[in-house]
Chain A
Amino acid sequence: MIFFLMRRLLQAVAVMFVISVIGFAIQDGLGDPVRQLLGPTATDAESTALRHSLGLDRPLWMQYLDFAGDAVKLNFGDSYFFHEPALDVIARYLPATLELVAASAMITLLLSVPVGIFCAIRPRSWLSRGLMGLSLIGISVPVFLSAMVLIQLFSIGIQVTLFPTGTGWGQWLNQLLSIQGGMPAYGRGNPVHVWGVWYTNFASWQGLLYLLLPALSLAFVMLPLFVRLIHAEMLEVLESDYVKYARARGLRPSRIYFLHALKNTLLPVVTLGGVQIGTLVAYTLLTETVFQWPGAGLMFLDAIERADMPLIVAYLMVVGLIFVVTNTLVDLLYRGLNPRVTLSGRAA
């Protein structure tokens, strides 16, 4: 256990080092803080003086050490735009993103497991064929498109005028096929304020309503991947000896599917989940853009527009840290689920 944690820590340090070098390179190579601070009319003498006072005339490695030292102290400098510490800005925006991710992860989990299992148990039924076909298409749908389709359907609504409006049945059919819309699809509404910095959408109906479409669209991109994986793994596991043996022992089907088969299926699913965390973060950028969800992703994109370097760098470092932490958690979960892997890291 200790060995595993040590190795993980070492890896984490390596990853954070790489990311911090990237962050440093961005900060150093791109925005010229001197010009940012003084404006284009400054004289050479002025900028040299400022350069010196900021320590920008020293060798690169010393500057990097300064940067890394500040980063360890969680100091990434003040945001150019917000004029406050970059980390504070991120702390303000991050909860919205985390809630979005949590909600969509819940939807993904709650739907993909039963759907994947159902499709594996009843491979010949029309429903599972349809669901598997949908998942195949779903893999090819980008997240922003599913988001826009959701907006069109449930926020804007559809007025169908396909059938003749003059006749009663035509009007009835038109109305039947039309969708009213009206779901909120812009921003977070008025989240409820809890525990200091945290504003939550989970605490009120209205908040949940605002959360629904963004979370669904994010979930719809992850769903097909997970459904397909669970389905494939489940098909394999259901053919295994131990499932047949469980049937031969007269266990209830629910226990066989949801304990004996699912627990073995979950191992690769957990691994995929770990790999997908990075992609999920990328998708939050897209989803937040479509729904103008005021989370860290939207903040990051705005920071890019404004060339707000401290904020960009701080965001990258925070995301890197989140990757490292979640990957470690996923690893621990995998080890918890799989007794064949000991915590020292070797397969028994």
Chain B
Amino acid sequence: MSFENGSPSTAWRRFRDSYFLYRLQRDRRAQICLLLFGLLMIGLLLTPWIAPSNPYDLAQINLLDSELPPFWIAGSEPGHPLGTDAQGRDLLSTMLYGARVSLAIGFGAVLVQSLLGTVLGLLAGYRGGVVDALLMRLADIQLSFSTLMMAIVVGAVVKAAFGGAFYGDYGVAILITIIGLSEWPQYARTVRASVLAEKRKEYVEAARVLGFSSYRIMWRHILPNTLSPILVLSTVQIANAIMAEAALSFLGLGMPETKPSLGSLIKSGFDYLQSGSWWITLLPGLFLVLLVLVVNLLGDWLRDTMNPRLYKG
């Protein structure tokens, strides 16, 4: 899948003739998912320009406009198509900005966990022995404790240690670290399994006989072969990370209301469910489900298409 050697035209031709594209053309559901995902990404990239207002700009907020309903309910205002929240912020805008935060944390956390997990997995698989046993037992314990539980515990400790105010300033970084640290075992296991499968193959043996260093063998020979399982896993993990972030924020261990993610939007809106303003909490919730569902469906499709285990066999 490298495009480095070859003009753009051959790279394009290779993509055009690929199995990947062939499958995409035959799968209506995957097309819809990809389209939706693309639209969501574009929407979130362009949010500062397309959002009706900037929820971070206090000058644009009018407390008198609080708890306006969305457009299909009597009493709505055209300036706020999805209504407003309890502080008078435009709900559509807060949702878009919130989804940006959620997605940023999702991508960031997956970056952290994939780096950590891949390195540790490579190490465990390639070195074997005590390193392997130790790392894998640690992964087992962490997984049996459940990664979400792990994230909650770490989040709780961080909050108890540094207090809530700390989250206001470094929320995104903290959450990326927490979720990244708690989910690495998934990657480590996947990478380790592929390494063990690759290690037995002849080309690795040949590279070793030729006298390449083990790091070179790992990075140049084994790692490229673990890319497709990592890609498939990453898609699912982005969805998981977004969910984990939402859960943490909902428990008050995540993004503060002043710089809300979708999770903290849902949390802050929850108090107004009883007063009848269901949209403040349920609309961001729906948006979250949509985001996660699209990513999950894409992950499903990627797994079916790339079938990492089958091609690795």
CB–CB under 8 A between A and B in the complex? Answer: yes
Interface-facing stretch out of A97-105, A108-116, A141-149, A210-218: A141-149
Interface residues of B, count at CB 8 A: 39
Q: Contact: B270 with A148, CB < 8 Å?
A: yes
Closest to A22 in B: B153
From known contacts A156-B273, A275-B143, A285-B152, infer whether A144 and B160 are also in contact, taking CB-CB under 8 Å. no
Task: Kindly state whether residue B276 has any CB partner on chain A within 8 Å.
Answer: yes
Give the residues in chain B near A145, CB-CB below 8 Å: 266, 282, 285, 288-289
Q: Contact: A304 with B146, CB < 8 Å?
A: no
Q: Contact: A286 with B145, CB < 8 Å?
A: no
Q: Contact: B145 with A278, CB < 8 Å?
A: yes
Give the residues in chain B near A142, CB-CB below 8 Å: 243, 246-247, 250, 285, 288-289
Task: Kindly state whether residue A20 has any CB partner on chain B within 8 Å.
Answer: no
Give the residues in chain A near B252, CB-CB below 8 Å: 301, 305
Q: Contact: A29 with B239, CB < 8 Å?
A: no
* Complex interface bits, B4-38 against A, C-beta within 8 A gives 1, otherwise 0: 00000000000000000000000000000000000
Task: Kindly state whether residue A127 has any CB partner on chain B within 8 Å.
Answer: no
Give the residues in chain A near B292, CB-CB below 8 Å: 140
Task: Kindly state whether residue B45 has any CB partner on chain A within 8 Å.
Answer: no
Task: Kindly state whether residue A282 has any CB partner on chain B within 8 Å.
Answer: yes
Task: Kindly state whether residue B161 has any CB partner on chain A within 8 Å.
Answer: yes
Task: Kindly state whether residue A183 has any CB partner on chain B within 8 Å.
Answer: no
Q: Contact: A312 with B160, CB < 8 Å?
A: yes
Task: Kindly state whether residue A329 has any CB partner on chain B within 8 Å.
Answer: no
Closest to B243 in A: A142
Closest to B293 in A: A140
Task: Kindly state whether residue B157 has any CB partner on chain A within 8 Å.
Answer: yes
Partner of B145, one of A14, A300, A323: A323
A304 to B234, CA, bound (A): 32
Task: Kindly state whether residue B296 has any CB partner on chain A within 8 Å.
Answer: yes
Q: Contact: B250 with A144, CB < 8 Å?
A: yes
Task: Kindly state whether residue A72 has any CB partner on chain B within 8 Å.
Answer: no
Within 8 A of A (CB), among B283-298: 285, 288-289, 292-293, 296-297
How close is B27's CB to chain A, nearest CB, in angstroms? 15
Best-surrounded residue of B148, B159, B246, B292 (most CB of chain A within 10 A): B148
Q: Contact: A152 with B250, CB < 8 Å?
A: no
Best-surrounded residue of A274, A286, A304, A323 (most CB of chain B within 10 A): A304
Task: Kindly state whether residue B281 has any CB partner on chain A within 8 Å.
Answer: yes
Q: How many A-B residue pairs have CB under 8 A?
A: 111
From known contacts A137-B289, A140-B296, infer whether A279 and B137 are also in contact, taking CB-CB under 8 Å. no
Q: Contact: A139 with B296, CB < 8 Å?
A: yes
How close is B156's CB to chain A, nearest CB, in angstroms? 4
Task: Kindly state whether residue B209 has any CB partner on chain A within 8 Å.
Answer: no
How close is A254's CB to chain B, nearest CB, in angstroms? 32
Q: Contact: A312 with B156, CB < 8 Å?
A: yes
Q: Contact: B144 with A275, CB < 8 Å?
A: yes
Closest to A278 in B: B146
Give the residues in chain B near A275, CB-CB below 8 Å: 143-144, 146
Task: Kindly state whether residue A136 has any CB partner on chain B within 8 Å.
Answer: yes
Give the residues in chain A near B145, CB-CB below 8 Å: 278, 320, 323
A327 to B140, CA, bound (A): 12
* Complex interface bits, A147-167 against B, C-beta within 8 A gives 1, otherwise 0: 011011000100001000000
How close is B200's CB to chain A, nearest CB, in angstroms? 21
Task: Kindly state whether residue A30 has any CB partner on chain B within 8 Å.
Answer: yes
Q: Contact: A14 with B161, CB < 8 Å?
A: no
Task: Kindly state whether residue B41 has any CB partner on chain A within 8 Å.
Answer: no
Q: Contact: B293 with A137, CB < 8 Å?
A: yes
Give the residues in chain A near B282, CB-CB below 8 Å: 145, 148-149, 152
Q: Contact: B273 with A152, CB < 8 Å?
A: yes
Task: Kindly state whether residue A79 has any CB partner on chain B within 8 Å.
Answer: no
Closest to B148 in A: A282
Task: Kindly state whether residue A197 has any CB partner on chain B within 8 Å.
Answer: no
Within 8 A of B (CB), among A294-318: 300-301, 304-305, 307, 309, 312, 316
Task: Kindly state whether residue A265 has any CB partner on chain B within 8 Å.
Answer: no
Give the residues in chain A near B152, CB-CB below 8 Å: 282, 285
Give the residues in chain A near B143, CB-CB below 8 Å: 275, 278
Give the residues in chain B near A18, CB-CB below 8 Å: 141
A145 to B282, CA, bound (A): 7
A161 to B281, CA, bound (A): 21
Task: Kindly state whether residue B149 has any CB partner on chain A within 8 Å.
Answer: yes
Task: Kindly state whether residue B274 has any CB partner on chain A within 8 Å.
Answer: yes
A281 to B146, CA, bound (A): 9
Q: Contact: B159 with A304, CB < 8 Å?
A: yes
Q: Contact: B273 with A148, CB < 8 Å?
A: yes
Give the residues in chain B near A278, CB-CB below 8 Å: 143-146, 148-149
Give the residues in chain B near A282, CB-CB below 8 Å: 146, 148-149, 152, 247
Give the residues in chain A near B274, CB-CB below 8 Å: 156
Q: Contact: A327 with B285, CB < 8 Å?
A: no
Q: Contact: B239 with A307, CB < 8 Å?
A: no
Closest to B263 in A: A142
Give the residues in chain B near A305, CB-CB below 8 Å: 252
Could you pull out 14 A-B pairs where Cβ atoms are within 8 angstroms?
A: A15-B144, A26-B157, A30-B161, A142-B289, A143-B247, A144-B246, A144-B247, A148-B270, A148-B282, A152-B273, A152-B282, A156-B278, A279-B148, A301-B251
Closest 5 CB pairs of A and B: A278-B146, A140-B293, A140-B292, A282-B148, A145-B285
Beyond the given pairs A30-B157, A275-B143, 12 more chain A to chain B contacts, judged by CB atoms under 8 angstroms and listed by A's residue number, are A18-B141, A137-B293, A140-B289, A140-B296, A142-B243, A145-B288, A156-B273, A161-B74, A278-B145, A278-B148, A285-B251, A301-B156
Residues of A with Cβ closer than 8 Å to B?
14-15, 18, 22, 26, 29-31, 136-137, 139-145, 148-149, 151-152, 156, 161, 274-279, 281-283, 285-286, 289-290, 300-301, 304-305, 307, 309, 312, 316, 319-320, 323, 327
